[in-house]
Amino acid sequence: MSITRKMILGYIILIFIPVLGFGYHYYTQTYGNLTRQFVESRQKILEQAYANMKSDFIRIQSVQRLLQYNPYVTDYLDGVYQTDADSVYALIRYIRPLYTQSLFANPEIESIVIYKMKNRVLPVTDLFRDQSLLNAQIEEKVEHLKPGKGLWIREEPEAAKPDLIYYQHIYNTQFTERIGLLEIRIRNSLIGNFYAAAGVEGNWHAFLLSPDGRPLNEGEAASALDEQTLHRLGQDDSAFFINRKSIVNGINIDELNVRVVVAGRAGEVFYSIKQRELILVTLIVLLLVGLSVAYYAMASTITKRILRLARFMRTLNNDNLRQHIIKPDKLDEKDEIGFLTATYNSMVQRVDELINNAHRAELRNKEAAYMVLQAQIKPHFLYNTLETIRMVAESNNDREAADISFWFGKLMRYSLSSKQDVTTLERELEMITFYLKIHKMRLQARLTYEIDVSVEAKHIACPRFILQPIVENSIVHGASAVLRPVHVRLQVEETPEEIRIRIEDNGPGIALDKLLAIQNQITNGSELRSEGEESRGIGIYNVSERIKSFFRGTSRLNLESRQGEGTCVTIIIDKGEAKNESIDRG
C-alpha cells in the first residue's frame, strides 16, 4: 500500500469516522435530552391542568352542599309545605335565587335539576321533576351512592369533549331519608378549558382511553396516531413516553374513570428544531468534506515528492548512482523533504566515491600483493649472502667477521621473517643480546653491558621490538654521545603481582625540560615539541602504547633520568593480564 493511501486510510480511521461517530452520538444525546425535557415539561402542564379541573369539579360539587344545607330546599323536597301557595312562595322567595346564584357562580353549569322522590311535592318543570322522568340506567347507577358521594357521567362516552352530568342525592335534615336526586349538567367547555390548559392545540390531539387502555373513539385516534403508539398505549400505563414518531402525555381522571392522552407527531412538533439541526449537520458534513479534500491535497503535495524519490531510489544499483534531479524552482526549498533529497544526493555521491575508492584500493592491494611476492625473494637472498660471508670468514679464521655475520643474520631473520607481531620475552632478550654484541664489537671498551634475567622468559608472551628501541636509545644517546665508557644493564625480575624489565645506563642523561616533555607524552599522549629529543620520545612513546595495549591492566612504562648520571626505563607488566601462550618461533 502506497504512503498516500496509508495517509488517507489513517485520516478516515483516526479522524473522519471518530468525528462523525462523536457528532452522531452528541446529536442523539442532545436530541434525546431535549425531547425528554420537553415531554416532562408538557407532563407538568397536563398535571397542572388536571389540578385546575379538579378544583372546578369540587366547586361544582359544592352546589349540592349548598342545596343540602338550605332548609327551604329540604323542606320543599320533604313536603313540609301543606299548600301549593306556600310551596310557590318558598320557591320564588328562597329557592330560585339560590339556583340563579349557583348558575352565575359556575358558568360551566348548563342546568340544575332535582328529581323529587315524594308525590306531595309540587313539581316545577325547570327546577323540580318527578323521579319517574329519570333514565332507568342512571337510576340504577346512582342507587348505591352513599351520603356525601356523587357520580360523574359522560353524556356522550365516545366524544373527545363530552358533556358531563353530576348526580348526588339530597337527604332530609336528619339524613335518614333520600328526598331528591340532584342533576347538574355541565357544558363541554369544562373539558375544553382543560384541553386548552394542557396545550391541546395545533398539532396536538387529545383522546380518552378506557381503564383497559382502549381508545373510546378508535377512528379519531387511528387517524392521529400510528399503530406502534396505539399498541403501546394499550400495554404501557406510564405517564409519558416518546418514540420516533409520536410524543405522548397521559393522566388518569378518576372522577370520569378515563385516561386522557395528549399526543403529537414528533416530526411536526420538532419541525423547526429538526430544520436547524439538518442545516447544522449539513454544514458540518460539508466542512468535513472540505477539510478532507484540503488534507488530501496537502498530503499529495508531500507524498508525491517522497514517491518520486522512492521510485528513483529503486532504480539505483552499482552501475547507476546518479543524483536525484530536482526542478530548478524547487532547489531553494528548505523543508524536510528538500533536506532529505539533498542529504540523499550527498549520500549517493559519497557512496559513489567510496565504491571508486574501494575499486582503487582493490587494485592497489593486488599490486601490493604482487610487490610482496617479488619482495619475498630479497630476504632469502640476504640470508644466503650473510651465511656465505660467515662461512668464508670461518674458513679464513676470521672469528669476529663470522660472529657479526651470524648475529646480524639472526637479527634480520627475526625482523623480516616472522608472520605475527607477538613473540616471547626469551626471544626478545636473545635478539637484544645479538644487538648489544654487534654494538660491543663496534664500540669496544666504550660499551659494556649486563643482562640479568630471573624469570621464566620463555613462558611470557610480549610484542616484538619492545626492548630494542630502548636499548638503542641507551647506545645512541648514551655510549655514542660521550667519550667515557658507558655501561648498559638489563634486568628482568618478578613479584607476586608484576614483572619488571629495567634498562638503565650511566650515560649523559636527559635535560629536565626534555625529560618532562617525554614523560608528559608517555602519560597523556601529548605531542612532543622538542626537536632534539623527538626520535627518543617517539620511540619510547610507541613502546609505552604497545605495552598498554598488549598487556592492559596496570601495565605501563616509566622513564627516569638525571642529567650527567644516566637514564632508567622500567617496563612494568601486570601479571594478572600477561599473556602466557605458545608463540610461533619461526
Residue 302 has pLDDT above 50, yes or no: yes
Nearest CA to 43 out of 250, 303, 276 is that of 250
CB contact at 8 A, 455 and 494: yes
Query: Looking at residues 60-77, what average pLDDT do you find?
Result: 91
Residue 324 has pLDDT above 70, yes or no: no
Query: Looking at residues 408-419, what average pLDDT do you find?
Result: 78
Query: Looking at residues 317-329, what average pLDDT do you find?
Result: 56
Three-state SS at 109: strand
Nearest CA to 216 out of 138, 162, 141, 152 is that of 162
Residue 329 has pLDDT above 50, yes or no: no
CA distance 417 to 420: 9
Q: What is the pLDDT of residue 296?
A: 73
Q: What is the pTM of this model?
A: 0.48
pLDDT interval class at 406 (50, 70, 90): confident
Lowest-pLDDT choice from 111-125, 264-278, 279-293, 349-363: 264-278
Query: Looking at residues 193-207, what average pLDDT do you find?
Result: 84
Tell which wins on pLDDT, 236 or 331: 236
Best-predicted range by mean pLDDT among 385-389, 403-407, 470-474? 470-474
The single-letter DSSP state of residue 80 is: -
Where do the H-state alpha helices sit in 208-331? 218-224, 227-235, 266-269, 271-314
| DSSP states along 382-408 | HHHHHHHHHHHHHHTT-HHHHHHHHHH
Q: What is the pLDDT of residue 331?
A: 47
CA distance 550 to 464: 11
For the chain, the domains span 3-187, 200-269, 328-374, 448-574
Residue 328 has pLDDT above 50, yes or no: no
CA distance 401 to 393: 6
Domain 448-574 in this protein, CATH class: alpha beta
In the chain, pLDDT over 70 holds for what percent of residues?
Answer: 83
CB contact at 8 A, 488 and 467: no
Considering the four listed CATH numbers 3.40.140.10, 3.40.50.300, 3.30.465.10, 3.30.450.20, the one that applies to the domain covering 3-187 is 3.30.450.20
Cell numbers linked to 411: 637479527
CA distance 478 to 485: 9
pLDDT interval class at 370 (50, 70, 90): low
Query: Looking at residues 355-363, what average pLDDT do you find?
Result: 77
Residue 469 has pLDDT above 50, yes or no: yes
pLDDT tens sequence across 137-175: 888 889 988 998 999 998 887 777 888 999 999 999 888
Q: What is the mean pLDDT of the chain?
A: 81
pLDDT interval class at 503 (50, 70, 90): very high
Identify the burial level of 31 via C-beta atoms within 10 angstroms of its C-beta, where 0-12 means exposed, 13-18 middle and 19 or more buried.
middle
Q: What is the pLDDT of residue 533?
A: 47
CA angle 567, 570, 572 (to 5 degrees): 170
